[in-house]
Amino acid sequence: MPLVTSKDMLLDAQKGNYAVGAFNVENMEMVMAVVEAAQEMQSPVILQTTPSTARYAGLNLYYANVKAVAERATVPVALHLDHGSSFELAVQALREGYTSVMIDGSHLPWEENSRLVRRVVDACRPCRVPVEAELGCIGGKEDDVDSGGTGLTSPEQAVKFVEQTGIDFLAVAIGTAHGVYKRSPNIRLDLLKEIKKRVFIPLVLHGTSGLEDEVVRSCIQEGICKVNYATDLRIAFTDGMRRILSGDKSVIDPKIYGNMGKELVKRYVQDKIWVCKSSGRGF
């Protein structure tokens, strides 16, 4: 089917007390793996690209890739700009056909973040493309951006931020971090509960690669509607390629080792769809 926006997906998830998995993709094989997993499990799904991914091949190439694969599927597929780094990049994604956009001004002072996000919302609203933004500072390293911070989302500021910006989804900082965890994180479910009481738009959880599934399920129970996965997909794809290339050095066909990478990504995505409880929701 044609690409859809993520708004109805996440509003349905909010009503049904489940989440939609949002998976970062880097190449054709990963795109195919994510959509095939969603199709087999009849789950809605969000595919994401980051600024560095866009620099690597161009937003238009990723859009064409995802669009082609989505059109062969019967489940809802959205294409999302993850951690959009500027107003210009967000607008470029909008023009290329992305059906969902995140603008990340969380590294800016509060008022500057709010103004930047409002500009993106004003640009996307006429096209009915939903906008995600982040308040607080999710730690760790996402792509080539190191947040260097650990500031948690304030429930009081979240209310004001949502009102001022008009965003559709809010990414919250409750103790998760991007990249690979070096120690067990302290996930603030109590803070998430407080945010949910005051903010009524769908909430997003970043930094879940390596987080225990039960912790993710608890976050979904307390109001998370979109769960982002990135680092673990890269690990799965690379592990698949290594299995083939290290086992048989005579292999030179990229389809052979690419297919193994694709298979491991697909298995990972299927597992996370179960965690998100979105299986069977893609009708």
For the stretch 131-167, pLDDT in tens is: 999 998 665 445 555 444 458 999 999 999 999 999 9
Q: Is residue 1 part of a domain?
A: no
Q: DSSP E strands: which ranges in the chain? A: 20-24, 45-49, 77-84, 100-103, 131-135, 139-142, 145-146, 169-172, 177-178, 203-205, 224-229
Question: Which phi and psi (to 5°) does residue 176 adopt?
Answer: -80, 170
pTM: 0.93
pLDDT of residue 147: 47
Residue ranges making up the domain that contains 79: 6-276
Q: What residues are paired with 46 via a beta bridge? A: 22, 78
Q: Is residue 282 part of a domain?
A: no
Q: What is the CATH number of the domain that holds 86?
A: 3.20.20.70
Q: State the Cα–Cα distance between residues 237 and 240, nearest whole angstrom.
A: 5
Q: Percentage of the chain with pLDDT > 70?
A: 93
Q: Is residue 245 part of a domain?
A: yes
Q: How do beta strands 145-146 and 139-142 pair?
A: antiparallel
pLDDT of residue 148: 47
pLDDT of residue 210: 77
Q: Is residue 40 part of a domain?
A: yes
- Residue ranges of the chain with per-residue pLDDT less than 50: 140-141, 146-149, 181
The domain tally of the chain equals: 1
pLDDT of residue 249: 87
pLDDT of residue 282: 83
pLDDT of residue 146: 47
Q: Is residue 99 part of a domain?
A: yes
DSSP state of 125: G
Active-site positions read: 82
Q: State the Cα–Cα distance between residues 222 and 265, nearest whole angstrom.
A: 28
Q: Is residue 281 part of a domain?
A: no
